[in-house]
Amino acid sequence: MPASQSPLTLAGLAILAAAALVFPWRASDYLLHVTTISIYYAMLASSWALLAGYAGQFSFAHMALAALGGYSSALFVQYTGLPVPVGMLAAVLLPAITGGLIGWLCLRMSGPYLALFTLAFAVIFQLILIAEYEFTRGSLGLEVAPLFGGRAEHLYYYTSLLLLGASLVAMQALVRSRVGLFLQAIREDEDAAEACGVATARFKIMVFTLSSAVAGLAGAFYGHYVGILTPNIVTIPEMGLIVAMAVIGGIESLAAAVIGAIVVYIASEELREFGQLRFVLLGLAIMLTQRFAQNGLVAPLIERLGPRRKGTAEAVDDKAVSGA
């Protein structure tokens, strides 16, 4: 059941959208670049939050799936000579299928088992990227055809905004539908959900597929924007950045993860002179947020500002608990 939006919220969203649209005219090229990259991270953090926070499937494979999207789009364009947008769309299929496959294989795994499985997947995938250098150019990095010719920071920015918007609409549609309730029920108590007649297998595969497709799309965009892909995308620190963004924002809310990602990334770019110390703080922030504010720092703010929902999440909580 879609929650009805109050006029106030709609007005707020409209102002936000307008600000995002005029932003390029006011910002320097550097800030625009940083913002575009932060939107790439926002796609990753929100799709990871859908999987890990919303459906409770903690995966370390997210960056590997983003890299899969990036590399397959780059190689597809390189070998077929088709236009880049075609490659990007085609390349979303591979991470989506792979993600769905992981979801299917991991149906019986939960918590630490799933985390370990996906971590091993990421390790293997990174080693393949390094070892198969005939195709991937290994650690040297694969040069990727640009999406737009010449200096086109504005175009890249708008494209990233479009992709983020489309991904959020798709994910939000899932979350707002009955499936969203089923996913929350699976997160709270999978056995109880199953006992209540929720087809847990189907929805777990579904959420893995969608979240991986968004990750793949983000990866494909990143490759064609930055122009080079290296196996470093799959490293643990990079995955840690995604986890930090989602956890600090609020792992159970897509919007909070988006804001968390943009704030964390831009802050970390602005504080570049502090070098590694930024990541020390990020680690500390993960631990402290988790310890003292498990809903994240942004999500409670959104709750307060946003419309009063008719207790949909609580209803499911109660249902899952009473069924346990």
Q: How near is the Cβ of 202 to another protein at its closest, in Å?
A: 20
**Closest CA relative to residue 173, chosen from 205, 210, 202, 200:** 210
Residues binding another protein: number (CB under 8 A): 46
Does 135 bind another protein (CB under 8 A)? Our answer is no
Among 286, 293, 301, 302, binds another protein (CB under 8 A): 286
Q: How near is the Cβ of 54 to another protein at its closest, in Å?
A: 12
Under 8 Å between Cβ of 293 and 300: yes
Q: How near is the Cβ of 4 to another protein at its closest, in Å?
A: 28
C-beta of 8 vs 127, nearer to another protein = 127
Which residues inside 47-76 make contact with another protein, applying CB under 8 A?
Answer: 52, 56, 58
Among 15, 280, 305, 313, binds another protein (CB under 8 A): 280
C-beta of 116 vs 199, nearer to another protein = 116
Q: How near is the Cβ of 60 to another protein at its closest, in Å?
A: 9
C-beta of 171 vs 244, nearer to another protein = 244
d(CA 39, CA 248) in angstroms, rounded, equals 16
Backbone angles phi, psi at 143, to 5 degrees: -75, 135
C-beta of 36 vs 289, nearer to another protein = 289
Which residues neighbour 315 within 8 Å (Cβ) at sequence distance 6 or greater? 181
What is the gyration radius of the CA atoms in the chain, in angstroms? 19
Q: How near is the Cβ of 90 to another protein at its closest, in Å?
A: 27
Which residues inside 173-232 make contact with another protein, applying CB under 8 A?
Answer: 187-188
C-beta of 14 vs 131, nearer to another protein = 131
Backbone angles phi, psi at 134, to 5 degrees: -60, -35
Q: How near is the Cβ of 145 to another protein at its closest, in Å?
A: 27
C-beta of 90 vs 128, nearer to another protein = 128
Among 233, 244, 259, 297, binds another protein (CB under 8 A): 244
Under 8 Å between Cβ of 227 and 75: no
Among 20, 279, 293, 323, binds another protein (CB under 8 A): 279
Which residues inside 94-133 make contact with another protein, applying CB under 8 A?
Answer: 105, 108-113, 115-117, 119-121, 123-124, 127-128, 130-132
What residue ranges bind another protein (CB under 8 A)?
A: 52, 56, 58, 105, 108-113, 115-117, 119-121, 123-124, 127-128, 130-132, 187-188, 236-237, 240, 243-244, 247, 251, 275-277, 279-280, 282-287, 290-291, 294
